[in-house]
Amino acid sequence: MNGTAFAIYWRSALFLTFQVALTVILTPFVLLVSLLPQYELRYRLARFWARSLIWGAVRICGLRYKITGLDHIPPQNGIVLSKHQSAWETLMLFLLFPKAVYLLKQELLKIPFFGWCLARYHHIAIDRKKPREALLSLLKQGPRRLQQGHWIIIFPEGTRVSPGERRRYAGSGGALAERAGVPVVPVAHNAGEFWPRRSFLKYPGVIELRIGPPLFGSAAEINRQAEEWIEAQMAEITSYQSKTVGINPQSRTV
């Protein structure tokens, strides 16, 4: 193992230690604060956690970032449709969009410490193995979250994908936007090239994240425009050759 590879390994291990320690330390505070009616207190703790991890990724792993399109975020809250490649964007999007909540799979709530905290927030947890019930749950809970002032972040491909990979986009984001009358903001990034899925290694470099202009209209039109914009941006910022992963339409996720 050369010096560069060794540095990546030990820095990644140090960051993982920092991440676990911070999560364990903050968990009892989140659980205690969640007993109070003021949601803002929980929200501030979550933002502190996310901001600290982004700081740690920069300082420990040399994982910097460049963000463009911040002026595209409208004052009205709405829905974010984003590419999903790593854990990095789940942290950054939470910081970029006020009072953000996620459409997430129920299994995450069972993770010790991290899942216990997730359950104290207004995220929308669904069973991805039951797409119809998941969509109905989103369309029921989503308008309430939007009325409460939250941004709802959805990964339309349903799971993390490797750089250069493309999966079928689900249409639930557009359906919710049309029903609630809110904008959809598309987001593209290449975080997976530096913070790969299913790996604890973090590679130094500059993540590029692009925020697109807000989209309005029918569900079909919103979904089409969001997918076209995201994939066009991905073609520009990814260094991997694109490929399409075939998915049975019957197994399409929310």
* 54: confidence class by pLDDT, cuts 50, 70, 90: very high
Q: Average pLDDT of 54-67?
A: 98
Percent of the chain with pLDDT over 70: 94
Taking the model in full, what pTM does it have? 0.92
The yes-or-no verdict on residue 118 having pLDDT over 80 is yes
Q: Identify the pLDDT of residue 253.
A: 37
Q: Average pLDDT of 8-13?
A: 96
Per residue in 176-219, pLDDT (tens digit) is 999 999 999 999 999 999 999 888 999 999 999 999 999 999 99
Q: Identify the pLDDT of residue 219.
A: 96
The yes-or-no verdict on residue 52 having pLDDT over 50 is yes
Per residue in 70-107, pLDDT (tens digit) is 999 999 999 999 999 999 999 999 999 999 999 999 99
Q: Identify the pLDDT of residue 240.
A: 60
* 235: confidence class by pLDDT, cuts 50, 70, 90: very high
Q: Where are the domains of the chain?
A: 64-251
The yes-or-no verdict on residue 250 having pLDDT over 60 is no
* 231: confidence class by pLDDT, cuts 50, 70, 90: very high
The yes-or-no verdict on residue 245 having pLDDT over 50 is no
Q: Average pLDDT of 4-22?
A: 95
Per residue in 126-163, pLDDT (tens digit) is 998 888 899 999 999 999 999 999 999 999 999 999 99
The yes-or-no verdict on residue 22 having pLDDT over 80 is yes
Q: Identify the pLDDT of residue 1.
A: 63
Percent of the chain with pLDDT over 90: 87
* 3: confidence class by pLDDT, cuts 50, 70, 90: confident
Phi-psi bin for 99: left (phi > 0), alpha (psi -120 to 50), beta? left
CB atoms within 10 A of CB 213: 14
